[in-house]
A and B are shown apart, each in its own frame.
Chain A
Amino acid sequence: MAEKQVTKTRRLIIIGGSSGSLEALLKLLPKLHKKFAIPIIVVLHRSGQADNGLTELLAAKTYLQLKEADEKDLLQPGWIYLAPPDYHLLLEEDGSVSLDASQKVNYSRPSIDVSFISAAPVYKEGLTGVLLSGANADGALGMQAISRFGGRNIVQDPEEAAVSYMPEQAILLCQHADVLNVAKIVALLNSIAMD
C-alpha cells in the first residue's frame, strides 16, 4: 500500500462545497488526523464580502492549523487554507497560492472549478479533489480535469448530501469517482495522508 514514490510527488487535497456543505465539513474536519501530512485547500461558496466568522468557526473544529489563504502563501503540510470570499484561488508551479478577482464562474467567486482546473496540471496524480453537497454544478468540470491529469476524485454520496445536485453533476462527468459518505471520506483522506 505504501509506495515509496510519495516523497517525490507533491500532494494536495482540495475540498469544494456549496449549499449544505458546511455541516459535512464540520463533521469531517475534527476527524482529520493530527499529523495529516498533506496541505488542504477548502473552497466554499460563501455570500459576498462580509466576514461572517467562518475562518474562526472552522479553525475551532480541527487539530490542524487553519487560515484564510493570502496571495503567495506557500502551501505547508499540517495546514488548511480557506479560499477568501470574492477571490478565485489558483495554484502556482512553485507550490504557492495566487488569488484572482476576475469574473464569477458558475455564479461563484471563489469557484471550485477554477481551483480544481488550476491545480490539476500542477499536482497531477498528487491531487485529490473532494466535492461535497451543493445546489450548483460548480466543481464537476474541475473534477473531470483532475481525473484527466491522473488525480483522485472523491464525491460525497448524494444520498447523504444535504443538497445532492452538486455531487450528482460531478458523478455524471467522473464515473471513476469514489462516492462516499463523510465518515468514509475522512477515513480515505487519513489513509492517503498517512501513506
Chain B
Amino acid sequence: MIATGQLEELLENILSRYGYDFTGYSRASLKRRIDGFYVKGRFTSFADMQRRLMDSTAYFMYFVEEVTVNVTEMFRDPAFYQTLREKILPVLATYPFIRIWHAGCSTGEEVYSMAILLKEANLLHKSILYATDLNQAVIEKAKTGIYPINTMQQNSVNYIRSGGKEDFSGYYHANYNLAKFDEGLAEKMIFSTHNLVSDSSFNLFQLILCRNVLIYFERDLQKRVLELFDQSLDSLGFLAMGSKESLRFSSIASHYQQIENKEKIWRKSR
C-alpha cells in the first residue's frame, strides 16, 4: 500500500515529467487505483514503480489507462436516455445544426448510444458528436466501434428500457465474439484526446455530456471543469451529468436550471 506522502510525491513528479495533472483528483479513489497498479505490476518498492514510470512514456501511458476509470456501457441509466429521447432531442431538433460534446467518453459506448438516438429521431444527418478523453488508448478503441459481443445483451436490455423500438441487433454486425457498429453511426463522430484538467474550450455546443467523470475530482477541479463547460455551452444549451453528480456548490449553478423530471440534466438560462 502506498503511503500518503509517496502518493503526493508521485503526482508531483508525473506533473513535471509528463504534464498530466492528477493533483486535483479525489485521493481515495486514485489511491485505490494506484495501489491496484502497484500490486498488478509486482514492483519491489514504491521507488521501483516510480522509476519505471519516469523512465518510459509508453509505460506511463499504460499507467494512465490503468488508473483512470473506463467502465461504461451503452444506454447507461436507461431512464436518462429516455429523457434525452423524449425531452431534449425535440428541443435540439429546432436547431439547423446540432453540436454535442461527450467529455470523458471512455471507449465510446455512450457516443454510439447518442448516435442511435439521433438516427431514430432523424437528426443524425445534421449533428456532429465530439468525443474526447484524456486517455489515448480508449479513444483508439472508441474509433473502431467494436465491442465484445457478450456486452450486447445488457446493451440491448438498456436500449429497450430507454424506449428503443427498433431491433437493437440491427445496429451492429456480429463476427465471432465481437460486434461492430454500423459505420453510418460513426460518420458524424470526431474523436480526440482532451484533458479536462489542462485543455481549454474548443467549440460551442448545444449539449455537453460528462457522466461519472466529476466524481473523481476534488471540489476546486470540479468547479474549474464546470466553468469550462459553461464557456463551451450555447445559451439555452444542456449539460448532462452522472446520476450522483450535480451542479450544487458550483459557481455556474445560478444560471442553470435542472429539468423537471429530476434526471441529471441542466439547461443554461442565458
Contacts and interface: CB of A to CB of B under 8 A. Distances in A.
Contacts of A93: 4, 27
Nearest to A120: B1
Interface stretch (A54-62, A100-108, A134-142, A159-167): A100-108
Contacts, number: 51
Contacts of A49: 77-79, 243
Contacts of B33: 102
A11 B121 CA distance: 53
Interface residues on chain A, size class: 20 to 34
Contact of A99 (B27, B78, B215): B215
A1 B31 CA distance: 36
B71 A92 contact: no
B29 A98 contact: yes
Given A49-B77, A70-B244, A121-B1, A100 B27 contact: no
Nearest to B26: A98
B75 to A, nearest CB: 11
Contacts of A117: 32
A181 interface: no
Interface stretch (A28-36, A37-45, A83-91, A185-193): A83-91
A87 B29 contact: no
Contacts of B69: 100-102
B32 A114 contact: yes
Interface residues on chain B, size class: 20 to 34
A161 B12 CA distance: 48
Contacts of A71: 215, 244-245
A103 B32 contact: no
* A-side interface mostly: loop
Given A98-B215, A99-B244, A101-B242, A90 B77 contact: no
A92 B26 contact: yes
Interface string B1-35: 10010000000000000000000001111001100
Given A101-B69, A101-B212, A102-B33, A91 B28 contact: yes
B151 to A, nearest CB: 13
B99 interface: no
B28 A102 contact: no
B29 to A, nearest CB: 4
A118 interface: yes
Interface of B: 1, 4, 26-29, 32-33, 69, 71, 77-79, 212, 215-216, 219, 242-246
Q: Which 6 A-B pairs have the closest CB atoms?
A: A90-B28, A102-B69, A100-B29, A98-B28, A101-B212, A98-B26
